[in-house]
Amino acid sequence: MTRANARAVLITGCSSGIGLCVAQGLKSRGYRVIATARKKADVQRLIDDGFESLGLDLSDSASIAAALDEVLERTGNRLYALFNNGGYGQPGAVEDLSMKALRAQFEVNFFGWHELTRRVLPVMRAQGEGRIIQNSSVLGFITLKYRGAYNASKFALEGLSDTLRLELQGTDIHVCLIEPGPILSRFRENAHRAFKANIDAEHSFHRNAYISLERRLADNEIEPPFTLPASAVLKRVIHALESSRPKPRYYVTVPTYGFGLLKRLLPTRVLDRLLIAASRAEVRH
């Protein structure tokens, strides 16, 4: 494919982790990748590495609008796919989540994605095809203790994406949810920052649990069991882009497959016991 006829894919959150890996993988596969990041220094680094890159902050409507206008101007109003990816996890017990912290979580992980998707859909309808690929999570369908804000944002994303898929039936625009379990990235480091910024651990009923939670978030050496590299997500994204029948859901990692099955089989109370044990194991790492 030459750049002129290469399929354009817009990706959010390309400064690190999954976004960066998918941007690299798709670029080397011949896609015209527009790799966005929210910080200027990261945009410059991406440009230096040979990407087409723009600033896009998902918590800022003006930034979303400006980035998309620029993308469409560059591509002549065409965009084959949007990979909604940029996001973070706000750890903390539900009772310790301020409205401000919960709103901030939704601004980035949910409303920002929705805003971008809404702006992209008319372009896809006009061109008669498109792919909206949502980087959800195993935590988009099961819950863990101290992940309430993140769980809620990803559950909301799953609901909205499932509805959108029904509404796009009969078109050649496909909505796919990618559901990774643990993936190597800067996710924990960024979650730790959000924890420190927004949770009053000292005065919390959960302060003892927070000590081990923080230890785990700060420890870059120990990975949760079954952690995979970001390339495992790339593989699913490629299928979602290139299959004539992309799947509504792509599981990634053993925990996703395992919990996907258990969620369908087990009564809620039994599943709860398993999830409490899993939360405990997570906190202990």
Ligand X SMILES: NC(=O)c1ccc[n+]([C@@H]2O[C@H](COP(=O)([O-])OP(=O)(O)OC[C@H]3O[C@@H](n4cnc5c(N)ncnc54)[C@H](OP(=O)(O)O)[C@@H]3O)[C@@H](O)[C@H]2O)c1
Angle between helix 268-284 and 254-265 (nearest 10): 150
Q: How far is the CB of 120 from ligand X (least distance, A)?
A: 15
Q: How far is the CB of 76 from ligand X (least distance, A)?
A: 25
Q: How far is the CB of 89 from ligand X (least distance, A)?
A: 6
Give every strand in the sheet of 173-180, ordered side by side.
Answer: 52-55, 32-37, 8-11, 81-84, 130-135, 173-180, 249-252
Contacts with ligand X by CB under 6 A lie at 12-19, 37-39, 56-59, 85-88, 108, 135, 137, 180, 182-183, 185-187, 190
| Catalytic entry in 150, 210, 250, 251 | 150
Q: How many CB atoms lie within 10 A of CB 278?
A: 18
Q: Which is nearer to ligand X, 107 or 129 (CB)?
A: 107
Q: Which is nearer to ligand X, 103 or 273 (CB)?
A: 103
CB 149 within 8 A of CB 102: yes
Closest residue to ligand X, judged by C-beta, is 17
CB 72 within 8 A of CB 123: yes
Q: How far is the CB of 152 from ligand X (least distance, A)?
A: 12
250 in active site: no
Q: Which is nearer to ligand X, 174 or 188 (CB)?
A: 188
Exposed / middle / buried, residue 285 (Cβ in 10 Å: 0-12, 13-18, 19+): middle
Q: Which is nearer to ligand X, 19 or 130 (CB)?
A: 19
Angle between helix 187-198 and 99-106 (nearest 10): 150
Q: 């509404």: which residue's tokens?
A: 167
Q: How far is CA 260 from CA 149, 157, 270, in A?
A: 20, 17, 14
Active site amino acids: 150
